[in-house]
Every structure is written in C-alpha cells, then in structure tokens.
Amino acid sequence: MKLRSLLTSAMALTLSAVLASAPALAQDKFTFRLAETWGPNFPIFGDTTKRLAETVEKMSDGRLTIRIDSANKHKAPLGVFDMVKAGQYDMGHSASYYWKGKVPNTLFFTSMPFGMTADEQYAWFYHGGGMELMQEVYEPHNMLSFPGGNTGVQMGGWFRKEINSLEDLQGLKMRIPGFQGEVFAEVGVNPTNIPPGELYTSLERGTIDAVEWVGPALDLRLGFQQIADYYYTGWHEPATELQFLINKRSWEKLPADLQEILRIAMRSAAYDMLIHSVHENSKAWASIREKHPNVQIKNFPEDVLTAMAEANDKLLAEAAAGDPQAKKIIDSQAMYLKNARNYTDISLRAYLNTMAEINE
C-alpha cells in the first residue's frame, strides 16, 4: 500500500509538471475588447483597427481575438481614455491629444505645430526615446500607449470666409483640438473640440465658422467642400499619430508570445495607415479638383503664420517651465527635430525642390 501511494503521488506530481510546462496543451484563448473613437466603418482610421484584428487573429492562430466597438456602440467617442483606464475595455484606438484636459502631457504624442514629419516622428518614437517618454506619461494611469497610425501632414482646415490677416481670426469659432487649438486661441480664435460625427452639422449650422479635420480623403466624405470654399494648407499637424491604448492589467494577462504578436500587429497596422492615407488623399484631392471647382487652396498669410509660430514658442516655454516632465518631452522632440531636419533638408526637401524646378 505504501508503494502504491508513493507511485500515485509521483504520477500526480509528474502530470502537474507536464501540464505546467506544456502551454501548447492548454492553448488558452483571449478576447480583447477595443473601443474606438470613430464610427462604424469609418474610412482609414476604422480600417486600421480592422487590419489589426485580422493580423492578430492570423498570427496567433485564433488564440487572441480583438472585438471592435465603434462609437455608435459604446456611445463615448471621447471617453476612450477613461474606459480603457477603468478596464471597461482592454484596448482603445483614438488620438492622444484628446486627453490633454485630463493629462496635459498626452498631447505631445499626436502631433505638434511646426514639428516633425511622419518619418521623423516615427524615428523619434522607435529610436529616439519617444516610446519611453510616452509610457512614462501613461504609466500612472494603468495603461500602455503605442503608435496607432499616421495621417501624414494634415490640411489647415475649411473656412467659410477667407483669412487675409490676423484680424480675420478674432472671435472665429473653430473645431481644432490639441496644442494647435491653444496656439490658435493665442491669436484670437475660439477653439473647440467636437466628435467627428457632429462636424458637418456644426459647420453647416454656424455653430462653428471653420473646421480642421484631417485631409482630402476624410474631409471629402464628410462633405465640407459643399459648405466651405477655402481650404488651408497645414502648419499644425505635420504628422498626426493616432494611438492604441491598452489596459495594463489586460496586457499582463497575455503570455509573452501574444504580447509580441500584438506589438508587431500594432506597428504594422500603424505603418499601413500612413501609406493608406497617402493613397486615399491623392485620389480624393483629384476628385475635389474635378467636381468642386469652388474649393480654393490657400496658405495662411505671413503675419498669421508668424504670430502662430511666436504663440507656439511661448506656450512651449510656459509648459516646459511649469512641468519637468513636459520639459523633458519638449526638449527631446526639439533636439530630435533639429538633427532629423538637417538630413531632411538635404534629402527629401532637396529632391522635391529639384522636381519642382524641373516641372516648371
């Protein structure tokens, strides 16, 4: 009896060890719920989350599934931060600068006026310390943040009246979020943040006088060209990076291989959104030129740009002086931009200038 008992105990211990050391036998499956700021089937932005879900499903052989809830489902397009932080959702897809009212230093990780282009910004994120700084900001809120797709240079907005001087900006009501909204406020604009689904109606009814959204591909779909004739070039968002937010507790429940699959899938989806944006914007701009000859492309006057650049420098200096963390981020971005732009000037800018001369 004693021998049988010993053998039984040994077999039990061996079986436990085998099960513990053979995750392939168990193959736990996980479902992540993702809340996005965008409505259902929203082009480009929504395509990015769908692409992420498809990639994760294939790479994990079905072990990790991402279920997407659009804004019409969760009813809180600008509440993604709070829902992911609380664990109501495992993931979110939105834009970091939407949270500046809750955590001011989040705004630096979307796009900054007069700042980096998309390739410069991605280089900063992944090779220049940007990811570490972003995580430092989100860590106290029980979240991880990853780049979630870039629009490239955004247009400066649709205006119902032409802007000829600083005077024309005084009291103007405009939908424009982030740090650029604060810059516009410094030169007399009344900035506001409105969810995407309400932008057209707000402009049409005169609730706002101007609207900045993204670029031709997404702007055309919302119909701004039907109610505003003046389309201004950008200065404020030279590389608008969306974000994937992940609840830290949800992340830590994933085994290491699924964490890596999710990390790679997010990076792939983000890059694909950038090239998708270039493709769709090119097509949409050709369509606007053909079907909406009323649309006039305008640059902001020199006095307006000068005033905005001065306001931008002033606000950055104030932010850096009042918050050591903000100073660290601002200094990092400024130093990286200076070095990267030196190369951009002799490579991309030189090439575009050369091509412009040839085509004159």
pLDDT in tens, 213-238: 999 999 999 999 999 999 999 999 99
* 221 and 305 assigned to the same domain: yes
pLDDT tens digit sequence for 283-324: 999 999 999 999 999 999 999 999 999 999 999 999 999 999
pLDDT tens digit sequence for 128-143: 999 999 999 999 999 9
* 164 and 229 assigned to the same domain: yes
Q: What average pLDDT does range 273-287 have in this prediction? A: 97
For residue 359, is it within any domain?
Answer: no
* 309 and 161 assigned to the same domain: yes
Q: What average pLDDT does range 268-291 have in this prediction? A: 97
For residue 309, is it within any domain?
Answer: yes
* 177 and 309 assigned to the same domain: yes
* 173 and 263 assigned to the same domain: no
- Predicted TM-score (pTM) of the model is 0.88
- The CATH code of the domain that includes 188 is 3.40.190.10
Cα–Cα distance measured from residue 38 to residue 153, given in angstroms and rounded to the nearest whole number: 20
Among residues 339, 341, 319, the alpha carbon closest in space to that of 106 is found at 319
For residue 14, is it within any domain?
Answer: no
- The CATH code of the domain that includes 123 is 3.40.190.170
* 47 and 63 assigned to the same domain: yes
With a cut of 60, say whether residue 13 has pLDDT above it: no
Give the per-residue SS3 of the chain.
Answer: CHHHHHHHHHHHHHHHHHHHHCHHHHCCCEEEEEEECCCCCCCCHHHHHHHHHHHHHHHCCCCEEEEEECHHHHCCCCCHHHHHHHCCCCEEEECHHHHCCCCHHHHHHCCCCCCCCHHHHHHHHHHCCHHHHHHHHHHHHCEEEEEEEECCCCCCEEECCCCCCHHHHCCCEEECCHHHHHHHHHCCCEEECCCHHHHHHHHHCCCCCEECCCCHHHHHHHCHHHCCCEEECCCCCCCCEEEEEEEHHHHHHCCHHHHHHHHHHHHHHHHHHHHHHHHHHHHHHHHHHHHCCCCEEECCCHHHHHHHHHHHHHHHHHHHHHCHHHHHHHHHHHHHHHHHHHHHHHHHHHHHHHHHHHHC
With a cut of 80, say whether residue 11 has pLDDT above it: no
With a cut of 50, say whether residue 16 has pLDDT above it: no
* 254 and 312 assigned to the same domain: no
Q: What is the pLDDT of residue 8?
A: 40
For residue 22, is it within any domain?
Answer: no
* 119 and 265 assigned to the same domain: yes
Q: What is the pLDDT of residue 23?
A: 47
Lowest mean pLDDT among 10-19, 115-124, 271-280: 10-19
Q: What is the pLDDT of residue 124?
A: 98
The per-residue pLDDT of the chain, averaged, comes to: 92
For residue 10, is it within any domain?
Answer: no
Q: How confident is the model at residue 10 (pLDDT cuts 50, 70, 90)?
A: very low
Q: How confident is the model at residue 7 (pLDDT cuts 50, 70, 90)?
A: very low
For residue 186, is it within any domain?
Answer: yes
With a cut of 60, say whether residue 184 has pLDDT above it: yes
311 lies in which domain range? 157-236+294-322
* 227 and 244 assigned to the same domain: no
* 162 and 145 assigned to the same domain: no
* 232 and 244 assigned to the same domain: no
Q: What is the pLDDT of residue 194?
A: 86
The tally of domains found in the chain comes to 2
Q: What is the pLDDT of residue 177?
A: 85
Domain boundary among 247, 279, 311: 279
Q: What is the pLDDT of residue 255?
A: 98
* 191 and 246 assigned to the same domain: no
Percent of the chain with pLDDT over 70: 93
